[in-house]
Amino acid sequence: MPLLTIETSCDETAAAVIDRSGKVLGQALATQETLHQRFTGVVPEIASRAHVERILPVIDAALTEAAVDPRRLTAIAVAHTPGLAGSLLVGVVAAKTLAVAWQVPLVAINHLHAHLYACQLSAAPRSVYPGIGLVVSGGHTSLYHCSGPLDLKYLGGTIDDAAGEAFDKVAAMLRLGFPGGPAVSRLAATGDPTAFAFPRAMIHDANFDFSFSGLKTAVRYAIAGPGKVDFDSLQISPTTKADVCASFEAAVIDCLVSKSTRAVRSHGVDQLCVGGGVAANPRLRERLAEAAAEQRFTLTIAPPELCTDNAVMGAIGWEKIARGEFAALDLDVQPGLQRGF
Ligand code: KG4
Ligand code: ZN
């Protein structure tokens, strides 16, 4: 019998019903994009309230599509770390309540591990292990050595902003809307990536860390100079906007490609997996594919809809079931960065 997966770590309410082979029998996803748009970022309180309203209809829609009797599910797998505390809580409380009501076991999922597992789902039956995993999302930019889906060693990550957050903030400064990543990358495609010499912080450092907050500040100075700025009244030509986006995107991508390929080389592996919302970026995908061809390693990136938050990647729950790793009913959320995982 299938697994029900629940994902509410940030601003997407998602559920999926997945069989043991990884086949998706039903899925539903309610996005909150329009709710957070005017704030140009996810407002945690609004996100958790919206999850409360949506979680049961979303689960119901996934189960209805799959046409399964929930009492016969193998388990309910829920993302409990990392993420926004209030958002994670809604999914975890729903999962625990339904586990009791339907008398089915509970499985706890790490959202970052699930992002990388989306690559395994796309690569199957080929295994993506052992290899390097890069999670690049709105909240995280982290590199791992992955010897299996649940055996990940943290190698390094951002010491300040995540790459996705930088995309969102640059989009906010340019008044491009939220989420910023897709808007910045669309505009970047029409701009000159060499127009602005933005910094590639830490790119030559012999570690696997990243820093994107200085880049964000450099963009701000490039478009508005120092001092107090009213971004609403800032006049920026469409060409300059496109050039800023292209130059910013190139700086982020240079750092991501450089550190992740170095991690591949220095760990004696020949595979790289990339997951998380920023992995949907077409230029990043292209640049990684070029690096993989040149340096002869196998690159796996999930299709864009499996890069951004979704419940299908919760199929990693089957790996936990195979190990007999079930969660107790006092399962709690663990928000925060969880870098060490
Ligand atoms: O993985 P995700 O859906 O949520 C988190 O776990 O954070 O990632 C969302 C992030 C946002 O910052 C969004 O702007 C970024 O992924 N993103 C992109 C693109 N699509 C989404 N960034 C760059 N280019 C894109 N095409
Ligand atoms: Zn995510």
Which residue carries 């196998």 as its tokens? 298
Look at residue 167 and tell me whether its pLDDT is greater than 70.
Answer: yes
Look at residue 300 and tell me whether its pLDDT is greater than 80.
Answer: yes
Q: Which atom of ligand 1 is nearest to 308's Cα? A: 3
Q: Which atom of ligand 1 is nearest to 164's Cα? A: 12
Distance 123 CA to ligand 2 centre (A): 19
Distance 73 CA to ligand 1 centre (A): 31
Look at residue 11 and tell me whether its pLDDT is greater than 70.
Answer: yes
The pLDDT score that the predictor gives to residue 201 is 97
Residue ranges around ligand 1 (CB below 6 Å) = 10, 137-139, 164-165, 167-168, 179-182, 185, 276-278, 280-281, 308-309
CATH class of the region 127-306 = alpha beta
What average pLDDT does range 78-84 have in this prediction? Answer: 96
Give the rounded percent of residues in the chain with a pLDDT score beyond 90: 93
Look at residue 117 and tell me whether its pLDDT is greater than 80.
Answer: yes
The pLDDT score that the predictor gives to residue 81 is 95
CA trace torsion 16, 20, 22, 26 (10° rounding): -30
> pLDDT of 255-289, one tens digit each?
999 999 999 999 999 999 999 999 999 999 999 99
Q: Which atom of ligand 1 is nearest to 162's Cα? A: 12
Look at residue 340 and tell me whether its pLDDT is greater than 60.
Answer: no
Q: Which CATH architecture has domain 3-115+308-322?
A: 2-Layer Sandwich (3.30)
- 139 Cβ neighbours under 8 A, 6+ residues apart: 10, 82, 83, 162, 164, 165, 337
Pocket test for ligand 1, best of 288, 308, 312 (most atoms within 8 A of CB): 308
Q: To which H or E segment does residue 31 belong?
A: strand 24-31
The pLDDT score that the predictor gives to residue 337 is 59
**From-to residues of CATH 3.30.420.40 in the chain:** 3-115+308-322, 127-306
Distances (CA, A) of 327 to 80, 99, 171, 336: 11, 11, 39, 20
Look at residue 339 and tell me whether its pLDDT is greater than 50.
Answer: no
Q: How many CA atoms lie within 13 A of 287 on its CB side?
A: 20
The pLDDT score that the predictor gives to residue 146 is 98
What average pLDDT does range 221-238 have in this prediction? Answer: 92
Q: To which H or E segment does residue 154 belong?
A: strand 151-157
> pLDDT of 169-225, one tens digit each?
999 999 999 889 999 999 999 999 999 999 999 999 999 999 999 999 999 999 999
Distance 225 CA to ligand 2 centre (A): 33
Q: Which atom of ligand 1 is nearest to 165's Cα? A: 12
**Nearest ligand, CA of residue 33?**
1
The pLDDT score that the predictor gives to residue 114 is 98
The pLDDT score that the predictor gives to residue 341 is 40
Distances (CA, A) of 178 to 40, 219, 243, 244: 5, 17, 19, 17
> pLDDT of 43-62, one tens digit each?
999 999 999 999 999 999 99
Q: Which atom of ligand 1 is nearest to 276's Cα? A: 1
Helix (H, G, I), strand (E, B) or coil at 55: helix
Look at residue 298 and tell me whether its pLDDT is greater than 90.
Answer: yes
Distance 116 CA to ligand 1 centre (A): 14
Smallest Cα–Cα separation from 172: which of 47, 39, 76? 39
Distance 138 CA to ligand 1 centre (A): 5
The pLDDT score that the predictor gives to residue 41 is 87
CA trace torsion 263, 266, 271, 275 (10° rounding): -10
Amino acid at 206: A
Look at residue 317 and tell me whether its pLDDT is greater than 80.
Answer: yes
Q: How many CA atoms lie within 13 A of 303 on its CB side?
A: 5
